[in-house]
Structure 1
Amino acid sequence: MTAVSLLAFAGLCLVLAVTPGPDTFLVLRIALNRPSAAIAAAAGSSLSAILWAALVGVGLAAILEQSAEVFRWLKIAGGLYLLYLGISSFLRARRAGAQAAAGEERKPLRYSHWAGFGSGALSTILNPKVGLFYLAVVPQFIPHGGNTMATALVLGTILAAIAFGYLAIVTALAAKANQWLRRPKVSTVFERATSGVLAALGLGVIASSAAS
């Protein structure tokens, strides 16, 4: 691969990264409570992107594309996971809001580093669109007679690095605004809004999968 090809692929990855999706809202949601756990979530998401690249290298994404049923059920699994994240986060935020209204000291929702990492990893690995993205672009960057697996891993590493950098910036911005976001009314609205977005994304994926 030439430097021009790598730059072109990096540009595609940047566009994909800055397009708001489940990973962005998940990291924002966690960053409000624990920025370091949000960085762990970004790392989990990035490593899953590399895993998708490896799966593409061995042809799994091609199987997913050819098997509409497998693809549909994987989309439903991802949608259910997003729906679970949204509903569980909303319920936690609602309980915290009720405690604050009753005059109790509001305890911030805590995420361990492993919980953040696992959430980010599952969010990406259950998103078959990542695999199909690789499937669509990897063949365009494989030189004649080149190694498909090695190329897929190189491109996957580039995507993972760009995605991690973007999500780290999102985390840093959320941390900077953390004092403002932690105001009871603001944090309640923000937590419920991000929870609603995650749940809506999950419902949208499930609905589109059921209709297909």
Structure 2
Amino acid sequence: MTFVSLVGFAGLCLMLALIPGPDTFLVLRISMNKVTAGIAAAAGSATGAVMWGALVGFGLAAVLEQSAEVFRWLKIAGGLYLMYLGVSALLKARKARKAGVVAGAAKQTPITHSHRAAYGAGTVSTLLNPKVGLFYLAVVPQFIPHGGNTLGTALILGLTLAIIGFLYLFTIALVAYKTMKWLKKPKVNTIIERISSSILAVLGAGVIASGATS
């Protein structure tokens, strides 16, 4: 693979990163109260991208390409996970508000995530994101030279996507946290929490519907 090809692939990765998706909304929601947790989620997403590259290298992605049924269930699994993230976030927000009322607190109890939980959520979200899988299935094989080191090239491409995606999500995490410092009013916090969590749930429902009808 030439340097020109790598630059071209990096450009495609940047285009993919700039399109808002589940990973973007996940990092946005987690970062609102704890920026380091949002960065951990971004790192998890990057790890998932590298793992997708490894799957292509080992040929497992080719199996998904040949089996529409396997890919359909992957989409449904990803949708269920997104719905879980969205619904659980809404339930946690509701529980935190009730706890604040009982305690007589003037502010809401902020919903934070541990670094490990955030990292795991980012990793699983990317692994179960059918758009990432489709990107690898459609684009990555075109940059793997015939007769070359398939695994090594796929890992390089996966690492390229991971770095670009991480830098983008890292920026999202910082912006989200800085914005929340300005908009720290309880009502505003509640609205943003509900919207971002609901978007995750809706995205999950859409993915499930797409997988069930394909």
Give the TM interval when normalised to the shorter protein: over 0.9
- d(CA) in 2 for partners of 1:170 and 1:139? 29
**Equivalent residue for 2:161?**
159
In structure 2, the partner of 1:25 is: 25
Tell me if 1:92 matches 2:92: yes
CA shift, 1:161, in A, is: 0.2
Residue 135 of structure 1 deviates from its aligned partner by 2.1
Displacement of 1:95 after TM fit? 3.0
| Residue 39 of structure 1, CA deviation | 0.6
State the distance in 2 between where 1:143 and 1:29 align.
40
Which residue number in structure 2 is paired with residue 131 of structure 1?
133
Note the alpha carbon deviations across 1:101-142, whole angstroms, 9 max, x for none: 674342111210000000000101112332221121223222
Q: CA deviation at 1:150?
A: 1.0
> How many residues are treated as equivalent by the alignment?
212
* Contact 2:10 2:160 survives alignment (8 Å): yes
TM-score (norm 1): 0.94
Which residue of structure 2 aligns with residue 43 of structure 1?
43
Please say which of residues 37-46 and 170-179 is displaced more in the overlay: 170-179
Question: Could you tell me which residue of structure 1 aligns to residue 116 of structure 2?
Answer: 114
SS in 2 for 1:139: helix
Return structure 1 stretches of 4+ with deviation > 4 angstroms: 98-103
For structure 1, the residue ranges without an aligned partner over 5 or more in a row are: none
- State the shift of 1:91 in Å: 1.5
The CA RMSD measured in Å over matched residues stands at: 1.5
What letter is aligned with 1:72?
R
- For 2:201, the equivalent position in structure 1 comes to 199
1:3 aligns with 3
- C-alpha distance in structure 1 between counterparts of 2:135 and 2:212, whole Å: 22
Structure 1 Cα separation of the partners of residues 148 and 34 of structure 2: 43
Paired AA for residue 18 in structure 1: L
SS in 1 for 2:112: coil
Contact map agreement 2:180 2:189 (CA 8 A) in 1: no
Structure 2: runs of 5+ lacking an equivalent: none
Q: Which residue of 2 aligns with 1:173?
A: 175
- Which deviations, in whole Å up to 9, do the C-alpha atoms of 1:55-113 show, x marking residues without a partner? 01111111112111111111111111100110111122223344556743421112100
Q: Does the 8 A contact of 2:97 with 2:109 survive in 1?
A: no
Residue 180 of structure 1 and its aligned partner are, at CA, apart by: 2.3
Tell me which residue corresponds to 1:34: 34
Q: Which amino acid aligns with 2:176?
A: A
* 1:35 CA drift (Å): 0.7
Asked if the contact 1:37–1:116 (Cα under 8 Å) also holds between the matched residues in 2, the reply is: yes
- Secondary structure of 2:78's counterpart equals helix
**1:81 aligns to 2:81 (yes or no):** yes
Looking at structure 2, the residues matched to 139 and 70 of structure 1 have their Cα atoms a distance apart, in angstroms, of 19
TM-score (norm 2): 0.94
